[in-house]
């Protein structure tokens, strides 16, 4: 029932602009913490129910095709945020999550190009996160879409790596730059030996394929130390910074600049 009512409410929410973006910093882990990117995470402030998690409404929006207009908005707002950060002297990328429908949308490239143009954000400051499930269908089509995004000059990352079913032979063909180790492999470090082995193996494999690695969901110093020992270049998580409105991220950065 909740899902059914979400459908109607999502449409209204789009019209009434009940969405906002939070940004979670991503840090360089090796050689001192340094902010390299912020990941845009959509938030829905529902009139009666308060905040609704994207984990709940993004899949519904995806099913209904509403993710395409919502995603356009996210891309534009993210580019605007990236431009604002640049104007304040913060040279960090903005990473945007893409869903399957958006990825397959024939208008995606135009949308991205237009957002970059309108906001004046150089493409090198924009990043897209895609998931393994999106790269598993038609490899030729996937290569074409990724290739044209890449040609714009954006950075590409594979999100939630290890939770889907991408084959390694696919992976090495893709023009991606980064791999994000899913938080589920980070969560139980240093207690779960298997997760530690998997995280270390994923990092090593990514490096062999010439990819940089971002660890998700870093919550403890032990996890951070383990990832650093394994030469994981970048990371994000509550230990380092929670997702927050742009203004808050900016004040965090002011402190960084002052250091
Ligand atoms: P994701 O892209 O894997 O994003 C990471 C999620 O982990 C975010 O949840 C973030 O708030 C959370 N997180 C970050 N650090 C920690 C930590 O240390 N511990 C824990 N437990 N969690 C942490 P969020 O914001 O609820 O987003 C959930 C998912 O919704 C995202 O997963 C992404 O798949 C999707 N999503 C969010 N925004 C968008 C969007 O604009 N477009 C699309 N297509 N999907 C989005
Ligand atoms: Mg993501
Ligand atoms: Mg993720
Ligand atoms: Mg995740």
Q: What is the mean pLDDT of residues 122-150?
A: 93
How far apart are alpha carbons 244 and 251 in whole angstroms? Answer: 11
Q: What is the mean pLDDT of residues 34-48?
A: 94
Take atom 20 of ligand 1 and give the residue whose Cα is closest: 217
Residue 258 has pLDDT above 80, yes or no: no
How far apart are alpha carbons 113 and 212 in whole angstroms? Answer: 25
The contacts of residue 250 (CB under 8 Å, 6+ apart) are 84, 85, 88, 90
pLDDT at res. 3: 76
Alpha-carbon separation of residue 194 from 10, 120, 154 (angstroms): 40, 45, 34
How far apart are alpha carbons 175 and 200 in whole angstroms? Answer: 23
Q: What is the mean pLDDT of residues 214-227?
A: 98
Quick one: which ligand is closest to 217's CA?
1
Which atom of ligand 1 sits closest to the CA of residue 96?
41
pLDDT at res. 211: 96
Cα of 158 vs centre of ligand 1, distance in Å, is 14
Beta strand 50-52 with 34-46 is: antiparallel
Cα of 109 vs centre of ligand 2, distance in Å, is 19
pLDDT at res. 259: 62
pLDDT at res. 139: 87
Q: What is the pLDDT of residues 42-87, one digit of tens each?
A: 999 988 888 999 999 999 999 999 999 999 999 999 999 999 999 9
Q: What is the mean pLDDT of residues 116-138?
A: 93
Q: What is the mean pLDDT of residues 23-49?
A: 94
pLDDT at res. 145: 96
pLDDT at res. 172: 85
Q: Is 51 in the pocket of ligand 1 (CB under 6 A)?
A: no
pLDDT at res. 236: 98
Q: What is the pLDDT of residues 84-124, one digit of tens each?
A: 999 999 999 999 999 999 999 999 999 999 999 999 999 99
pLDDT at res. 252: 86
How far apart are alpha carbons 76 and 68 in whole angstroms? Answer: 12
Residue 255 has pLDDT above 70, yes or no: yes
Take atom 13 of ligand 1 and give the residue whose Cα is closest: 217
Across the chain, mean pLDDT equals 94
Strands (E), the chain: 19-28, 34-46, 50-52, 93-97, 126-131, 155-161, 178-181, 212-215, 234-235
Take atom 21 of ligand 1 and give the residue whose Cα is closest: 217
Percentage of residues in the chain with pLDDT exceeding 90? Answer: 81
Whether a cis peptide bond, with omega within 30° of 0, leads into 190 is yes
Neighbours of ion ligand 4 (CB under 5 A): 160, 183
Residue 169 has pLDDT above 90, yes or no: no
Mutate to test the pocket of ligand 1, among 41, 223, 245 (most ligand atoms within 8 A of CB): 41
Which atom of ligand 1 sits closest to the CA of residue 62?
44
Q: What is the pLDDT of residues 186-218, one digit of tens each?
A: 999 999 999 999 999 999 999 999 999 999 999
Which of 1-5, 16-20, 167-171, 223-227: highest mean pLDDT?
223-227
Quick one: which ligand is closest to 180's CA?
3
Residue 5 has pLDDT above 90, yes or no: no
Quick one: which ligand is closest to 129's CA?
2
Residue 163 has pLDDT above 90, yes or no: no
pLDDT at res. 124: 98
Cα of 254 vs centre of ligand 2, distance in Å, is 25
Cα of 160 vs centre of ligand 4, distance in Å, is 5
Mutate to test the pocket of ligand 1, among 216, 219, 234, 237 (most ligand atoms within 8 A of CB): 216
């Amino acid at each position: 029932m909740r899902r059914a009512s979400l459908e109607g409410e999502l449409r209204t929410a789009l019209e009434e602009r009940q969405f906002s973006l939070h940004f979670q910093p991503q840090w360089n882990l090796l050689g001192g913490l340094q902010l390299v990117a912020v990941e845009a995470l959509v938030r829905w402030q529902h009139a009666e129910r308060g905040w609704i998690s994207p984990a709940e409404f993004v899949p519904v929006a995806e099913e209904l095709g509403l993710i395409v207009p919502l995603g356009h908005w996210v891309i534009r707002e993210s580019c605007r945020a990236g431009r604002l950060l640049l104007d304040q002297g913060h040279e960090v990328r903005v990473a945007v999550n893409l869903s399957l429908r958006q990825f397959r949308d024939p208008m995606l490239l135009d949308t991205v190009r237009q957002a970059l143009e309108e906001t004046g954000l150089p493409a090198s400051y924009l990043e897209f996160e895609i998931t393994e499930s999106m790269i598993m269908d038609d490899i030729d089509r996937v290569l074409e879409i990724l290739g044209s995004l890449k040609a714009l000059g954006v950075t590409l990352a594979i999100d939630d790596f290890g939770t889907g079913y991408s084959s390694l032979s696919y992976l090495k063909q893709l023009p991606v730059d980064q791999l994000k180790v899913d938080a589920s492999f980070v969560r139980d470090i240093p207690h779960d030996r298997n997760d530690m082995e998997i995280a270390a193996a994923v990092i090593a494999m990514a490096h062999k394929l010439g990819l940089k690695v971002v660890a998700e969901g870093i919550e403890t110093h032990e996890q951070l130390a383990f990832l650093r020992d394994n030469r994981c270049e970048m990371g994000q998580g509550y230990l380092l910074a929670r997702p927050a409105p742009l203004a808050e991220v900016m004040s965090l950065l002011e402190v960084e600049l002052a250091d």
